[in-house]
Structure 1
Amino acid sequence: MKIEKLQTSNARLRLSWGDPALRALVYQVLILAAVGAAAWYLVSNTLHNLAARNITTGFDFLHREAGFAIGESVIPYSPTDTYGRAIWVGLLNTLRVSVVGIVAATLLGTVLGVARLSNNWLVSRLAGTYVEIVRNVPLLLQLFFWYAVITENLPGPRQALHPLPGVFLSNRGLKLPALRGDALDWMAAGLALAIVGVALLGHWARRHHEATGRVFPLGRAALALVVLLPLLGWWAGGAPLALDMPYLKGFNFTGGLTLTPEFAALLAGLVIYTSAFTAEVVRSGIQAVDRGQWEAAGALGLPRRRILRLVVLPQALRVIVPPMTSQYLNLTKNSSLAVAIGYPDLVSVVNTTLNQTGQAIEGILIIMAAYLTVSLSIALFMNWYNRRIALVER
């Protein structure tokens, strides 16, 4: 009995090239060794060439004075600040245009996607023409077009268009009235709290509707939260708030809030280009919902608008969300084309930095790490949302 067990154990330990598991393990080890050797060669060769040319490596340059100006920034910045702060300003500029672009492209793309399925022939054809033209024109050309429209076809500051009080549109950008005061932070906190409250209230309203069949007036409640909570923040902050109106002084405007031509052109290009792809994603998601859902909801007497909002779109989201993630990632990465029209995004600022410092490898690594972090963050959030709305198998 012991001899038979020993023979069986020896048979299991015998290595044979005919074993597919063994072959797979060997191939993986060889590939891993080849990748490691290639990486070692590239790193060692790069370090040798840098040392031969007396080029220092490392990220110590981030603490040195930048010495160059940045046209616009979300946070205070001056040329006497460090390279690290300059790069942080560029990253925040990238995030600003990406976040605003994602929201605007989603809204516009959803409207276009629904319009493509409209029963109105003219609306459907116009939406289809928009999608086909915009998708087939390179984004870089669209950025050049919008930048030229803003800077060359709009009048100067003295002849600026003045459609509303405090609003001026010229080749220097769009000037808007701005709120100034210590209560702004409190109002922003109130608005953020209102957004969270609306999301939680919407979740409760759906559960309440499923349990009781009663429809909670979510729209009016959400409007009340969005209005009342910022007002409460204004009161809690001591209510010091003033409206800063822009006015013409010399050859340009002073005061107010400025949307520069570079930001406006980049945002317009990204939103218009991405919305065309988003429209196709929304259209395909709606068409993936079985036609019987429309007919069943119509038999209950629901109008087409409520059928789309309450029945079709919630089911279409399960098809829409995965490809929509790719569109959000594309918009964020396409924002790097801002360097072509002079918008100071991350790529533009790092490009200036590496030209002054000679730290090209470190600069490229910073850009790669920043875009990788932002892209993975978007992907993680969208994957979480996709799992949340997915059908649960029983």
Structure 2
Amino acid sequence: MFVIAIFALLTAAVVEGRQNLAAQGITTGFSFLERSTGFDVGFRLIDYGGYSSYARLLLVGLLNTLLMGTLGILAANLVGLIIAILRISGNSILEAIGVVYTELFRNIPMILQVIFWYMLLLQLPPPRQAFQGLGTILSSRGAYVPALNVNTDHAVIAIAVAVAGLLALLVTAVSRGLSRHAAIRRIRWSLALATLVAATVTLWLGRIPETQLISWPELQGLNIRGGMRLQPEFVALLFGMAIYGGAYIAEIIRAGFISVGRGQIEAARSLGLTPLQVFSRVQLPLAIRAVLPSLINLYVWLFKATTLGVVVGFTDFFAVISVSINQAGQTLELIGILMLTFVLINNSLAFVLNRVNKAIALKGSHLRS
């Protein structure tokens, strides 16, 4: 009866809303997705122009959000792991650095940090005095990094192949049934090699004719040619996610390190393992296993934090939805698309990581043995 009541309430709301919109002469539906937008966007991973459709625009924003969310989570993990190691290092100076970092950046709202990094990036020198090193050029126009001279379709296929290969490797790593297979190591190496070869061949076939596979940024006069430009908005949001999220991840991982029993560490040392082997094969795996549920919650939150890019003008999914609402006027449809997309992305992320957590969790019988 409760479900029926909720369904009836939602149905009544939809019918009433459609009647009110029709009375005001406002059309509903998703046919607007086929109309041309008439404007351009700054940062995009696929081809897009002013004559592209709203559906293409939403795809551009979705890909930007997926890229930013993935890079932000990876960067935050790296920062958090480094700070957590400093906190448990036993060196008073390194521990103090870790404490200062955590207490400073964890208590400043992320939106303020994003704005701060954005304003700081805008104060960098112009291209002629830009900072150069490791194939990267950093100026007030953004960061220029090496890029592949590959057409978009082949690049997307190569990324899909790489993601599929990584997921397959993940399944073989966490599956208890496969882990007992005698030839599992050979299977993993073969799978990794096949993924690498398939992605490389795809990129090579998609190489733009008469160009090198890799385009390096170069300073030419008052401009920078080659490579791929990462706009200040992109870099500022990435810095904000990495530094703010890293402060929280550091405390979570530190709690995992503390949860590892001293007896397990001493047993590993007594077997003749080096300090690096003790850390990589005993401390880190057990720590991640203990805190993965907490990390999953933070990953979902960090992915939703990509919407803060709107304060500095980054064209993520939320930003293109906002612009589309102003241009097309289809508020309900676009907000519905935004909500449904984030629900699907975050639930998919949580589902995969929860499956990993379930696969690597120690059962009660294992603990007793």
Query: If the TM-score is normalised by the length of the shorter chain, which range does it land in?
Result: 0.7 to 0.9
Alignment of 1:287 onto 2:255: no
Identify the residue that residue 149 of structure 2 maps to in structure 1. Answer: 180
Contact 1:195 1:226 in 2 (8 A): no
Distance 1:189 1:336, change over 3 A: closer
2:129 to 159, 162, 167: 159
Distance in 1 between residues matched to 2:57 and 2:357, nearest whole Å = 36
Write the deviation string for residues 152-181 of structure 1: whole angstroms up to 9, x where unpaired: x201123222335x5321110111333325
2:70 corresponding residue in structure 1: 99
Q: Which range moves more in the overlay, 264-273 or 109-118?
A: 109-118
1:194/1:374 CA distance change after superposition, 3 Å: closer
Distance of 2:59 and 2:320 partners within structure 1: 9
In structure 2, give the amino acid aligned to 1:47. R
Q: How does 1:251-330 map to 2 (within 5 A)?
A: 251-330=222-301
Q: Show CA shifts across 1:203-242 (max 9, x none).
A: 89xx99999xxxx9xxxx89x9599848973897499761
Measure how far apart 1:367 and its partner are: 0.6
Residues 190 and 233 in structure 1, CA contact (< 8 A), matched pair in contact too: no
Map 1:226-237 to 2 at 5 A: 229=197, 233=201, 237=205
Aligned amino acid, residue 96 of structure 1: L
Q: What secondary structure does 1:98 align onto?
A: helix
- Contact 1:193/1:229 (CA < 8 Å) preserved in 2? no
Residue 245 of structure 1: aligned partner? 216
Alignment of 1:350-389 (within 5 A): 350-389=321-360
Return the alpha-carbon distance in structure 1 between the equivalents of residues 300 and 146 of structure 2: 33
Q: Per-residue deviation at 1:199? A: 5.9
Q: Does structure 2 retain, via aligned residues, the 8 Å contact 1:134–1:276?
A: yes
Partner of 2:140: 171
**Residue segments in structure 1 that go unaligned for 5+ positions in a row:** 1-28
State the aligned residue count: 353
Contact 1:191/1:226 (<8 A) preserved: no
* Greater relative contact order (Cα < 8 A, sep 6+): 2
CA–CA separation in structure 1 for the residues paired with 2:163 and 2:62:
22
Question: Which residue number corresponds to residue 9 of structure 1?
Answer: none
Identity %: 37
Letter in 2 for 1:348: A
Q: Give the residue type in structure 2 aligned to 1:161.
A: F
RMSD in angstroms over aligned alpha carbons? 3.4
Question: Using the alignment, how far apart are the partners of 2:179 and 2:10 within structure 1?
Answer: 57
Change (3 A) 1:62 1:368: same
Counterpart of 1:314, as a letter, is: P
The equivalences for 1:43-122 within 5 A come to 43-122=14-93
Mark the CA change 1:227 to 1:162 in structure 2 (over 3 Å): closer, same or farther. farther
Mapped partners of 2:23, 2:202: distance in 1: 61
Letter in 1 for 2:139: S
SS at match of 2:337: helix
State the Cα distance separating 1:250 from its structure 2 match. Answer: 6.6
AA aligned opposite 1:345: D
Would the alpha carbon gap of residues 361 and 236 (structure 1) be closer, same or farther in structure 2, given more than 3 Å must change?
Answer: closer
Q: Which amino acid aligns with 1:69?
A: D
Check conservation: 1:190, 1:232, Cα contact below 8 A: no
Aligned residue for 2:20, secondary structure, equals: helix
Which of 96, 105, 110 pairs up with 1:134? 105
Gaps (5+ residues) in structure 2?
A: none
Tell me how far apart the structure 2 counterparts of residues 85 and 238 of structure 1 sit (CA, whole Å): 22
> Matched residue of 2:95: which SS?
helix
* Aligned-pair CA distance for 1:286: 1.7
Q: Which has the larger radius of gyration?
A: 1
Q: State the AA in 1 paired with 2:272.
A: G
